[in-house]
Structure 1
Amino acid sequence: MCGITGFIGNNRHFTVEVLDQMVGQLNHRGPDDKGVELYKIKDHLVIGFAQARLSIIDLTSNGHQPMAFEQLNCVFNGEIYNHEEIKAELENLGHVFKTKSDTEVILHSFLEWGTKCVHRFIGMFAIVIHDYSTGNVYFMRDRAGVKPLFIYQKDNVLLFASEIKAFHKFPDFDKTLSESAVTAFFDFGYVPTPYCIFKYVRKIEAGSLEILNTETLTFTVEQYWKINTFYDKPKLDLSYQEAKNHTHELLVSACNYRMVADVPVGVFLSGGYDSTSVAAILQSNRDQKLKTFTIGFQEGNNEAPFAKEIAKHIGTDHHELYCTTREAQEIIPELPFFYDEPFADSSAIPTMLVSAFAKKQVTVALSADGGDEIFAGYTIYRKHDKTMKSVALIPNFIKPLLRTSFSMASTLVPASKSKLKHQLKGFGSAVHQNNLQFANQLYKNQLSLPVHIRNSFLKKQASSLKTAFDDQFNDEMAVAEMQMMIDFNTYLQNDILVKVDRATMSVSLEGREPLLDHRLIEFAAQLPLHYKFDNERSKKILKDIAHQYVPETLMDRPKTGFSIPIARWLRKDLTFLLDEFLSDKALAQSGLFNVPFVSECIKDYRKNKFHHTTFIWKLLMFQMWYAKWMS
């Protein structure tokens, strides 16, 4: 795990000194070692690679990057968990290794198999390789998008980095904002891949391989993996027991792979099914007690007592920390630095706190993100599946009448009741739409700002960005599967994984995601939907596996998750932040906002007359980010 950065092209600022400053911005991602290399390929072409290293595998200087082998140079962020098996295969083909580093395995793999080597990797990674023989530079990102990789490109300058903050140290970095990305942030709470808040920056997409022609600075893009491919395949002809057994085998393999390290490893344990499954599987396979970590709050949702009971049952070395409101609030000023693009998921606060707590004892922590998107954990999947099955039973001649009734009812609901208004419109839409149309409507209803806010808070309405829903889906696919696929490609990758990566890396802790092992994802996508949920339970198959380790009596309770009382804080403890960052003067600085409208919303919010806390929090996060990076 580390931070990587570099530049390619021709510019007077392509110097060792500038590259050193760029990688210095990533010290929190890798405090153990730093490498900076400049390669002058031709008079008009300079390539610079740099890495800030967090030593996890092969702690010696043998793992130093950038690493070279024959005609290849490489910088790499992440882990290749199956590097030992690949290494053995390559040794049988005549390759000779000098280190225990997985970076060396990447280089030999690329030399042997070219870009097809990426299909052999089990892991999380952002890889950049320069090949002198072709002159090309190759960018590879892991299938689920666990590890970030940003590209800045303008004129004859191309920069890359694990985090955008490295670009700010390049003197000619153009910080022009993307107005469409600003709008998208206020819709989603994040800027969706491949876009970025900056006009000339983009994110390399998950499961992508991009080949840069260094003569023309143009890319050829190959999507080497996409979850849609596996949902489109015929469902596997397996009994439920066979499916459960194989899912269990894949889970065990995924968890064990993510224990590969030369440093202490622990697990974040919330007490929910996902993290319990990971911790229980790992503890059952080893004599030494596994370290588990939980954070608790005296206010808001608190899963710490449940996690403690689970840990006691499975026998881990459990550690819990109860945080005060003040400790949680002290994290907020740090958010704009570590989340160096506007980011509005408030659960970043407890995630940063639990990461700092775990870092005192371990260097690697396993998280259990992705279970809901892969195994249908959100209750909304069941709800909408049931809706469409009910609609299918309605005679066609009645559907127009129902549609009219729901539409009329929605017009009677005031704009302030936007959720109910959207629900009525959604039900009205469902009776005359196919699965794809209905899923599209649901997606827009859930993730967009209320119309009366969206149409008024910005001076200029920017065009919408293309999102994951604009991809082509199979019209025959179940609505729930469409939603799972969309959530995997949007919310999981752009919100959850960003949150965990930046939070763990803020304290030089490597986060690993066993439930995002691509073998598990591919298998789960091809399972019949009723293996994932029925009328009674979400995440059915994963829960049945968990119950092999932990009794139902310890597990069956309402899902809560990380939650903090943002609404109360904004109206009481954090009013000083509203005063500083949401004043008329502060709002006017960017030139983006309709200040009178936004100011009125804030005044009404303080008086408890305006109830869109999510919008106010997004405003605050944007303004704090703007003050940090745009001043």
Structure 2
Amino acid sequence: MIYGKISLKNWSVACVEGEEPESFFEGCGLRLFFYGTLYNRDKLRESPDDSNAKLAASAYLADPAHGFARLDGSFTIVYYSKNECGVVRDHHGTHYPVYCNKTGDFSTSWQFLAERSEEPVSYDAFALSSFLRRGILQKGRSVMCDIFTLDGGQQFHVSAEGWHKEIRSGLSGRFSKDLHGLERSRVFEYDSKVRTGKHPDVESCSRRYGELHVRAIQRRIGDSRRVGILLSGGYDSGANLAALRSIYDGGIDSYSVGFKGDAWSELPVARLMSETFGTRHHEYEIDGSEINFLPDIVRFLKEPFVEGGLMVNYCAMRMIGSDKPDVILGGDGSDQYFGTSGREVALHYLAARMGLRPLLHGLHALLSCKTFDTGGKLSRLNFQVDKVLHILEGERFGFSSSELRGFLQDEEYGKNPFKPLRADIRSFEHLYIQHALASDLEIVINRIILYKASRMAQMFGNNLVFPFMDLDLYEYLQQLPVSMKCKGDSVWDIACGRCESKYLLKHCYKPLLPEAVTARKKQGGFAPMPLFFRDRVQRDRLKDFILSSDIYVEYLNRKGVEKFLTDYDREASGQGGWFWARQNKALQYFNLLTLVTWWEEFMGGRKVSF
């Protein structure tokens, strides 16, 4: 843990308490504390002996407005100067979480700030209801009122110029000034331009992409003698392994996680990849009993968080144990850098251009009624309509606003605070880029997949890195037209599903990977969440725990929770049904269980075990 104060008062002797920094720089009217690591030292260093703090300081001094944006790594930076001071998070927030209060106190632990507050600090009911709705807390808010969070690529800072300095967002205008003298602003600006003109040569783009990917891996493994890799059996982990083998002939440990009884298991393909590239392979199969580790996860994260792959990341990191590789490569984020949901983006674009969005909104409102929530054909239709209409809002698994009304003692807390962006329908390409930034990058990468992956790695002391998140790789992809990311002959074809996602990556690595990987349709990768609640005895135990909590004294409505648990028991005894209907109900159960666990641990002060 680190902690300190963001203040220009006594800046020349200001210190950061707690953990010792990886390196420290003082000079040229600047004090800078660096925690973490830099990957692009080869681009930044003036001499081999330059510390990471020196490189960060040089970038800032050369360009105070944009210098930190040149840094690629996993880090937290605290800096003080006569005119400005602040706390900076890396591009995707893979280092420590950062919290700050209105008086400028910051810490990597919200508990630290709450315990030292001069006034009583209460839980943020709106943030918790946001978690029940989506599995993540409301953007910018922690579990406690008046304690704010910092997203990846942002900074809390204060300047001598105060609020006269306008910081603009690449997506949504100016940042809110909710910290009474402190500013929360973006360090890394995202390029939202649509590339037009002639399409570049695929072969040359493919070669360049491969070169940058290999360099990203080389930067992250350095002179490691032993390298690990997370292996799913898909293109992303396969590309990481193929690229790694092209520059590294040492021992590689590969790790794969599957699910017992899963007909779509990718474990056989992962084994084939291991055999092809010569790794020492390790596997683990989840059987559902792993739900008993949830209290340990909540205790470590100190805030409620749920995503379908959370237990996969937990089990992979736990499987590694004490015999750790120097560095472990993860394939996270590749889908989102290229852009996901091309079909839904195309459908939204076509619906908007044809004036059909009001009709879809009406259909969605009708089908969202409890009467039609049966998992049948109408539920499937509504699921797809919801994705198309809310294409810029990221993942939407959890309780709906109408469902939350029966869950909360105060219905006011259940209102959706999310203000949707206006869809940019100048062209399919404009909407695709907007979705890639607003949903894929800012929500899915920064707040979900890299958060869970990096935090689970930290929980077990593993050095997990993400080559596809390399800053040079990102900047190169932004220079390419959408057709290099989502390939289709027309917008209509893409809307019909006749398109190829991650086109450039697949073009680059298809010749290097086994046909079993390149020829198969993507069907795995989804964690079957009902598995964790399949056992009746286990459900009874969890139900007793949920209903015995004191969360009903002031926040949740006991009758609403009892009804949900009773309905789940009845539906769980049935067989079959639509996958996504069962998946969402199980995720709702996971959200509820996680929230109650968090409440007991941090509001009730009771150590939880199932």
Structure 2 length as normaliser, TM-score? 0.80
Residues 184 and 112 of structure 1, relative CA distance in 2, 3 Å threshold:
same
Find the counterpart in structure 1 of residue 468 from structure 2. 515
- Work out which of the residue numbers 595, 600, 608 in structure 1 matches 2:571: 608
Find the counterpart in structure 1 of residue 436 from structure 2. 484
What's the offset of the Cα at 1:254?
Answer: 1.7
Find the counterpart in structure 2 of residue 282 from structure 1. 244
CA distance in 2, matches of 1:274, 1:76: 31
- Work out which of the residue numbers 521, 524, 527 in structure 1 matches 2:477: 524
2:49 counterpart of 1:49: no
Find the counterpart in structure 2 of residue 621 from structure 1. 594
2:37 counterpart of 1:79: yes
CA distance in 2, matches of 1:203, 1:220: 12
Q: How does 1:373-452 map to 2 (within 5 A)?
A: 373-376=336-339, 378=340, 380-385=341-346, 388-389=349-350, 410=367, 414-417=371-374, 424=381, 439-440=389-390, 443=393, 446-447=396-397, 449-452=399-402
Unaligned runs of 5+ in 1: 11-38, 54-63, 92-96, 431-437
Residues 519 and 419 of structure 1, relative CA distance in 2, 3 Å threshold:
farther
What's the offset of the Cα at 1:296?
Answer: 3.7
Find the counterpart in structure 2 of residue 182 from structure 1. 128
Find the counterpart in structure 2 of residue 306 from structure 1. 269
Residues 72 and 474 of structure 1, relative CA distance in 2, 3 Å threshold:
farther
Q: How does 1:448-597 map to 2 (within 5 A)?
A: 449-460=399-410, 461-462=412-413, 467=418, 469-470=420-421, 473=424, 475-478=426-429, 479-485=431-437, 486-533=439-486, 534=488, 535-557=498-520, 558-561=522-525, 563-567=527-531, 569=533, 571-572=535-536, 574-575=538-539, 577-583=541-547, 585-589=549-553, 591-597=554-560
What's the offset of the Cα at 1:146?
Answer: 2.8
Residues 106 and 262 of structure 1, relative CA distance in 2, 3 Å threshold:
farther
Cα deviation code 1:116-148 (max 9, x no counterpart): 4313222232211123x44x4222222233334
What's the offset of the Cα at 1:504?
Answer: 0.1
Instruction: Return the letter of the residue paired with 1:618.
Output: N
CA distance in 1, matches of 2:96, 2:480: 29
What's the offset of the Cα at 1:429?
Answer: 9.6
Q: How does 1:64-143 map to 2 (within 5 A)?
A: 65=22, 67-70=24-27, 71-88=29-46, 91=47, 101-114=51-64, 116-131=66-81, 133-134=82-83, 136-143=84-91
Contact preservation (8 Å) 2:258, 2:266: yes
Cα deviation code 1:574-621 (max 9, x no counterpart): 3255234311553414x1112212211112222327962222211100
Residues 512 and 208 of structure 1, relative CA distance in 2, 3 Å threshold:
same
Unaligned runs of 5+ in 2: 163-179, 489-497, 574-581, 605-610
Instruction: Return the letter of the residue paired with 1:578.
Output: L
CA distance in 1, matches of 2:362, 2:416: 33
CA distance in 2, matches of 1:546, 1:562: 23
SS of equivalent residue, structure 2 residue 45? helix
CA distance in 2, matches of 1:481, 1:83: 30
Cα deviation code 1:512-571 (max 9, x no counterpart): 111112222233244333322331432222112221311333333333126254455365
Find the counterpart in structure 2 of residue 195 from structure 1. 141
Residues 625 and 346 of structure 1, relative CA distance in 2, 3 Å threshold:
farther
SS of equivalent residue, structure 1 residue 627? helix
Instruction: Return the letter of the residue paired with 1:621.
Output: T
Residues 474 and 559 of structure 1, relative CA distance in 2, 3 Å threshold:
same
Structure 1 length as normaliser, TM-score? 0.77
Find the counterpart in structure 2 of residue 257 from structure 1. 219
Contact preservation (8 Å) 1:80, 1:123: yes
SS of equivalent residue, structure 1 residue 607? helix
Instruction: Return the letter of the residue paired with 1:8.
Output: K
Residues 68 and 143 of structure 1, relative CA distance in 2, 3 Å threshold:
closer
Cα deviation code 1:462-502 (max 9, x no counterpart): 37576584378564454444433312211221111111111
Contact preservation (8 Å) 2:220, 2:467: yes
Find the counterpart in structure 2 of residue 152 from structure 1. 100
SS of equivalent residue, structure 2 residue 505? helix
Find the counterpart in structure 2 of residue 19 from structure 1. none
Greater alpha carbon shift after TM alignment, 545-554 vs 406-415: 406-415
Residues 104 and 417 of structure 1, relative CA distance in 2, 3 Å threshold:
same
Residues 601 and 501 of structure 1, relative CA distance in 2, 3 Å threshold:
same
Instruction: Return the letter of the residue paired with 1:119.
Output: A
SS of equivalent residue, structure 2 residue 413? coil
Q: CA RMSD in A?
A: 3.8
Find the counterpart in structure 2 of residue 225 from structure 1. 188
What's the offset of the Cα at 1:367?
Answer: 0.9
CA distance in 1, matches of 2:113, 2:357: 55
Cα deviation code 1:44-97 (max 9, x no counterpart): x995513547xxxxxxxxxx5462423544333332112244222xx5xxxxx8
SS of equivalent residue, structure 2 residue 222? coil
Contact preservation (8 Å) 1:271, 1:307: yes
Instruction: Return the letter of the residue paired with 1:189.
Output: G
CA distance in 1, matches of 2:228, 2:529: 28
2:3 counterpart of 1:6: yes
Greater alpha carbon shift after TM alignment, 319-328 vs 469-478: 469-478
Task: Tell me how many residue pairs correspond in the alignment.
Answer: 560
CA distance in 1, matches of 2:528, 2:129: 25
Contact preservation (8 Å) 1:51, 1:66: no
Residues 212 and 235 of structure 1, relative CA distance in 2, 3 Å threshold:
farther
Cα deviation code 1:308-327 (max 9, x no counterpart): 11121123x23213246377
Cα deviation code 1:345-373 (max 9, x no counterpart): 24222212211333522142121111111
Contact preservation (8 Å) 2:24, 2:34: no
